Amino acid sequence: MVGEVGTRVRELIRQVCREQEVEILSGSVSKDHVHVFLSIPPKVTISRLVQRMKGFSSYKLMLEFKHLEKAFWGRHLWGRGYFCVSSGQVTDEVIKAYIENQAVEEEGNFKVVT
């Protein structure tokens, strides 16, 4: 997910987070995965949020980028799983530093690999 596709993934994730009143503290879209550090209100379940991010972005990306539709025809764009951990054992600053070292094109606190 580089270039225009990566930038669009970032926009779609931001849209889902706005709709769910989730604050993106830091983020990075890499070639084959996405990191996001979020502040999630108690009413939002993590599993539903990830389901919405992946489902919505997959649907929109397949419509907008025909080369993805051809490459992933009959398969899923996103992997089935995800990794989630709450901060506490590690400080927020360590998590942000890790994410910030993942990508090169920056727009605010959410980067995309170019």
Q: What is the pLDDT of residues 63-98, one digit of tens each?
A: 888 777 665 555 566 777 888 888 777 788 888 887
Strand-pairing partners, residue 106, are 111
The reported pLDDT for the residue numbered 44 is: 95
Q: Tokens 């709709």 sit at which residue?
A: 19
DSSP codes of every residue in 30-83: -SS-EEEEEE--TTS-HHHHHHHHHHHHHHHHHHH-HHHHHHTTTS-SS-S---
Please write the tens of the pLDDT for every residue from 12-54: 999 999 999 999 998 988 888 888 999 999 999 999 999 999 9
Q: Is the pTM of this model over 0.85?
A: no
